């Protein structure tokens, strides 16, 4: 039976308000073959990741960029996240020194020095040096005073006790000048070697972090030096530990790897040891030659 061409197709026109009937069901966002925003199916409902941002984040790192790498970025050989530090007012900086000494001695790492090195300033450097030089002079005078016959041993010396005391006092006062000179000379050698290895730190920061090691070790060694035998053994242990801390300091200040920082610290030590060995051999040779003379 043929259908009247003036009538709608079968299934349509049953509802007077919707003469064309209900269309077939579709997906809420359109056809299943296409995502609602026109992206190909293999790209997911959110489309392709955004292009690289203004800081050059490559697309493979995702739309939110790379994970944080710390304030100073990833230095070669080590990486860590740390807060930014800045120089403090002199009074506050002096008040924080004891805690800094304890932290450096009890938490040896490049991270420890990296967290403290931002506080470097010349005023706190000179305050530490002057206080350390004065205390070292007092301890040195006390150690020499415990040996009353130092300048008049067995009555063979022509120096009177008063002259000997004046010499001791003069040498102690002179150490107030020589301590800063020798300190800056040692730091300067380390600084130049670190620069030769590609270090990026400053002389001020290197001086500050070195003082965080030198001052507590120097004061404790000076006190223990009043006991001769104990001071010798403890002094050697302190010397080895100072080398380790200086390596961490160079790593943090100059952003060097552990191997390079170790070379920076051990090269001067090796030169000094070599010179001492040469001097010892020279003295032995001179003594043997004098004994073999007829």
Name the nearest CA neighbour of 243 among 225, 217, 222: 217
Would you state the pLDDT for residue 99?
93
Give the whole-angstrom CA distance, residue 4 versus residue 105: 102
Whether 232 is covered by a domain: the verdict is yes
Q: Has residue 25 been placed in a domain?
A: no
Q: What is the pLDDT of residue 102?
A: 94
In a domain, 41, yes or no: no
Residue 95 lies in a domain: yes
Q: Is residue 21 part of a domain?
A: no
Q: Provide φ and ψ at 15, rounded to 5°.
A: -100, 120
What pLDDT is stored for residue 43 in this prediction? 52
Comparing CA positions, the residue from 67, 109, 130 lying closest to residue 252 is: 109
CB 78 within 8 A of CB 251: yes
In a domain, 277, yes or no: yes
Give the range of the structural domain holding residue 135, as residue numbers without chain letter: 90-291
Q: For residue 48, is it within any domain?
A: no
Other CB atoms within 10 Å distance of the CB of residue 54: 5
Count structural domains, the chain: 1
Q: What does the buried/exposed string (b/e) look like for 232-271 if buried means 16 or more CB atoms within 10 Å of the residue's CB? A: eebeeebeeebeebbbbbbbbbbbbeeebbbbbbeeeeee
C-alpha of 127 from chain center: 22
User: Does residue 4 lie in a domain region?
Assistant: no
Average pLDDT by consecutive 10-residue portion of the chain (294 residues)? 53 56 54 50 53 49 44 43 71 92 93 92 94 87 65 50 64 80 94 94 95 91 74 78 94 93 93 90 84 70
């Amino acid at each position: 039976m043929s259908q009247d061409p003036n009538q709608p197709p079968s299934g349509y026109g049953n509802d007077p308000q919707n003469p064309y009937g209900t269309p077939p069901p579709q997906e809420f966002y359109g056809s299943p073959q296409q995502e609602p925003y026109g992206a190909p199916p293999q790209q997911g409902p959110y489309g392709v990741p955004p292009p690289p941002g203004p800081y050059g984040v490559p697309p493979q790192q995702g739309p939110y960029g790379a994970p944080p790498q710390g304030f100073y970025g990833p230095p070669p050989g080590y990486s860590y996240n740390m807060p930014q530090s800045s120089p403090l007012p002199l009074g506050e900086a002096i008040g924080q020194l004891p805690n800094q000494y304890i932290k450096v001695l009890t938490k040896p790492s490049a991270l420890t020095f990296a967290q403290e090195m931002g506080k470097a300033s010349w005023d706190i450097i000179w305050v530490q040096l002057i206080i350390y030089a004065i205390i070292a002079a007092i301890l040195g005078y006390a150690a020499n005073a415990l040996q009353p016959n130092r300048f008049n041993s067995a009555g063979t010396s022509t120096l009177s006790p008063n002259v000997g005391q004046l010499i001791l006092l003069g040498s102690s006062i002179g150490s107030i000048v020589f301590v800063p000179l020798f300190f800056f000379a040692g730091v300067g050698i380390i600084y130049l070697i670190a620069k030769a290895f590609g270090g990026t730190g400053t002389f001020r920061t290197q001086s500050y972090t070195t003082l965080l090691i030198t001052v507590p070790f120097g004061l404790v060694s000076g006190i223990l030096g009043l006991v001769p035998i104990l001071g010798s053994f403890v002094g050697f242990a302190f010397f080895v530990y100072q080398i380790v801390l200086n390596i961490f300091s160079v790593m943090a200040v100059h952003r060097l790897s552990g191997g390079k920082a170790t070379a920076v610290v051990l090269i001067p030590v090796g030169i000094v040891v070599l010179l001492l060995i040469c001097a010892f051999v020279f003295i032995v040779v001179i003594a043997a030659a004098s004994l073999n003379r007829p």
